[in-house]
Amino acid sequence: ASAALGDYSFRVRFRDAHGGVGEWLYGNWTVNVQNNLPEAFIDAVAPSPGYDTQFFSFAGHGTDYEGGISGYEWRSDLDGVLGQSAAFERDGLSAGNHTISFRVRDTNAAWGAYATLELTVFPNQPPLVEGFNASRLEIFRGQNLTLHIRGSDSHDPETDLTLELQHTLPRHNWPAWEF
């Protein structure tokens, strides 16, 4: 049987088969029943590694010998408290090497030890225009002009890039088009 939390004192006596009952003997010791702390487990943090412009998914669970789990806490040593549920998504993580810590609270309001993992968050490097030239420098109205533009995204070479092109005449604003 499971005992409630607290300090217990004891006394003992014997009864014999003929109905005789001895005197109580009181123990000079106390047994303190303590709460077993819950244990936290990190199931997944993704992506890992990632970029500071991405959303990250966090998932974990906890176990408790005596009862259930009543609270969760996720922390980053760089960004502080990240979330307070078993699973969630979060963006806006700082670039750098994070120690992610996760702990759970049991139904006796006791927090267990942290489970930890390392997460690297890279700063997002914007895509670069690597080259830009025109098929000719002078054209007449009604003629076509071909622009050659090369670009890349160094951290994600498979990503689709959107080209933004602006042009202007002297002393005018810069209208923009996206392709």
Give the pair of three-digit tokens for residue 148.
């050659």
The list of the chain residues with pLDDT below 50 reads 1
Rounded-to-integer distance, Cα 41 and Cα 46, Å: 15
Q: Are 41 and 117 a contacting pair, CB within 8 Å?
A: no
Q: Are 38 and 104 a contacting pair, CB within 8 Å?
A: yes
User: How many beta carbons lie within 10 A of that of residue 151, not counting itself?
Assistant: 13
Q: What is the DSSP string of 33-78?
A: E-PPPPEEEEEEEESSSEETTS-EEEEEEEE-SSS-EEEEEEEETT
pTM assigned to the model = 0.66
Q: Which residues pair with 74 in a beta bridge?
A: 83, 102
Give the pair of three-digit tokens for residue 154.
């160094």
Q: Please name which of 102, 64, 97 lies closest in space to residue 84, comparing C-alpha atoms.
A: 102
